[in-house]
C-alpha cells in the first residue's frame, strides 16, 4: 500500500527511454483512491470472510465429532455440560496471540493510512463490533473453555501499538504533504487568491520531437505531462523550476511541523489522562489500608 504513495515519484519526463516502466503517474486527484480501494477490501471484504471462516471451521469440526459420537452412544443430548464441552474443538495454546495480531493489523491499517481513506476508522469500528460477537459465539459454542491464567496486562503489545502510532503519524504527514494536492493548492490560493487554472500550474510542456521512439508520432507538436519543469525552449530544458523547489521546501516544512504538533498533543493527552482513574486508585489504597490494619490487629 505504501507503494501507492510513491507512484510516479521517480518519473522525470516522457523523453527518457529508460523510464518507460515509470510513466504510470497519478492523476490530479492523487493516488489515494487506489489506496482507499485496498483498505476497503482489507477492512470489509477480507475481514468478513475471515470472521465467517472463524465461525464455520470450529462449527463444522464440532458437528463432525458429534456425528461420530452419535454412532457410539444414543444419549449424547443428556451428557453433562463438561462432557459436551469435551466434544468441542480444543483451543490452541497461543490463540490469544492470533487475536491480538488481528487487532494490531487492523489498528495499523487505520493508523497508517487514515488520511487516504477517512472512513477507515468507522469501518474498523464496525469490524470490531462484529468481531466481539463472533469471538464470543466462537469461544462459547465451538471451543472448549480455556484455563484462566492471571496476567498483568497486554504489556508485550503496548510497545507494538506505540510504535505503530509513531510510524502512523509520520506516514500520514508524508501522505498529506507529498501525495495529496493539499500543499500545492494552498500555495496557489495564497499567491493568486483564486482556485481557477490551478491544474495548469502542475503541467509542463513537452516537445514530441524529443521522444526516443518517434515512430507513428506526427501530431500534436507539443503535449503536457504532470510536473513542474522548464519548457523545451528554455536554456535549462526539462529541469525543475524554482516553483518546484519552493513547493518541495513547503512540503518538507509541513511534514516536520505536523509531526511535532501531533507528538506534542499526544504527549499532553498521555500526561493528562492517567492509566488508572483516581477513583480506582483511592479504592486500592483503601483496600491496602484495611489489609494492613488486619495484619496489625492479628499481630
Q: What is the end-to-end Cα distance of the chain in Å, rounded?
A: 66
pLDDT band at 2 (very low <50, low <70, confident <90, very high): very low
Which pLDDT tens digit goes with each residue over 267-290? 898 888 877 788 888 888 888 888
Three-class secondary structure of residue 219 per DSSP: coil
DSSP state at residue 19: G
Contacts of the segment 24-27: beta carbons below 8 A, 24+ positions apart? 25/225, 25/226, 26/179, 26/226, 27/226
Q: What pLDDT score does 109 carry?
A: 85
- Does residue 236 have a pLDDT over 90? no
Which pLDDT tens digit goes with each residue over 139-177? 887 788 887 777 777 777 888 888 998 899 998 898 888
What is this structure's pTM?
Answer: 0.71
- Does residue 255 have a pLDDT over 60? yes
Residues 28 and 14: their CA atoms lie apart, in Å, by 18
Residues 101 and 291: their CA atoms lie apart, in Å, by 39
Q: Which of 34, 259, 256, 254 is nearest to 165 (CA)?
A: 259
The three grid cell numbers given for residue 152, joined into one nine-digit string: 498483568
Amino acid at each position: 500500500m505504501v507503494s501507492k504513495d510513491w507512484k510516479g515519484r521517480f518519473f522525470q519526463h516522457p523523453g527518457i527511454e529508460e523510464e518507460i516502466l515509470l510513466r504510470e503517474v497519478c492523476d490530479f486527484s492523487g493516488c489515494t483512491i487506489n489506496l482507499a480501494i485496498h483498505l476497503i477490501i482489507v477492512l470489509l471484504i477480507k475481514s468478513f470472510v475471515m470472521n465467517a471462516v472463524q465461525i464455520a471451521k470450529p462449527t463444522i469440526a464440532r458437528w463432525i465429532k458429534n456425528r461420530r459420537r452419535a454412532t457410539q452412544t444414543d444419549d449424547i443430548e443428556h451428557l453433562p455440560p463438561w462432557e459436551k464441552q469435551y466434544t468441542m474443538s480444543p483451543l490452541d495454546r497461543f490463540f490469544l496471540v492470533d487475536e491480538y495480531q488481528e487487532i494490531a493489523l487492523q489498528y495499523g491499517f487505520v493508523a497508517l493510512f487514515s488520511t487516504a481513506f477517512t472512513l477507515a476508522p468507522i469501518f474498523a469500528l464496525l469490524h470490531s463490533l462484529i468481531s466481539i460477537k463472533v469471538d464470543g459465539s466462537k469461544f462459547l459454542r465451538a471451543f472448549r473453555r480455556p484455563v484462566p491464567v492471571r496476567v498483568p496486562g497486554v504489556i508485550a503489545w503496548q510497545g507494538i501499538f506505540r510504535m505503530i502510532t509513531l510510524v502512523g503519524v509520520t506516514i500520514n504527514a508524508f501522505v498529506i504533504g507529498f501525495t495529496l494536492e493539499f500543499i500545492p493548492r494552498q500555495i496557489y490560493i495564497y499567491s493568486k487568491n483564486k482556485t481557477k487554472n490551478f491544474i495548469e500550474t502542475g503541467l509542463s510542456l513537452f516537445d514530441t520531437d524529443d521522444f526516443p521512439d518517434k515512430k507513428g508520432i506526427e501530431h500534436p507538436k507539443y503535449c503536457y505531462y504532470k510536473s513542474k519543469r522548464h519548457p523545451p525552449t528554455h536554456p535549462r530544458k526539462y529541469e525543475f523550476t524554482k516553483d518546484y523547489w519552493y513547493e518541495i521546501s513547503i512540503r518538507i516544512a509541513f511534514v516536520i511541523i505536523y509531526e511535532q504538533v501531533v507528538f506534542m498533543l499526544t504527549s499532553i493527552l498521555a500526561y493528562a489522562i492517567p492509566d488508572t482513574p483516581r477513583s480506582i486508585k483511592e479504592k486500592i489504597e483503601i483496600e491496602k489500608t484495611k489489609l494492613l490494619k488486619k495484619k496489625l490487629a492479628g499481630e
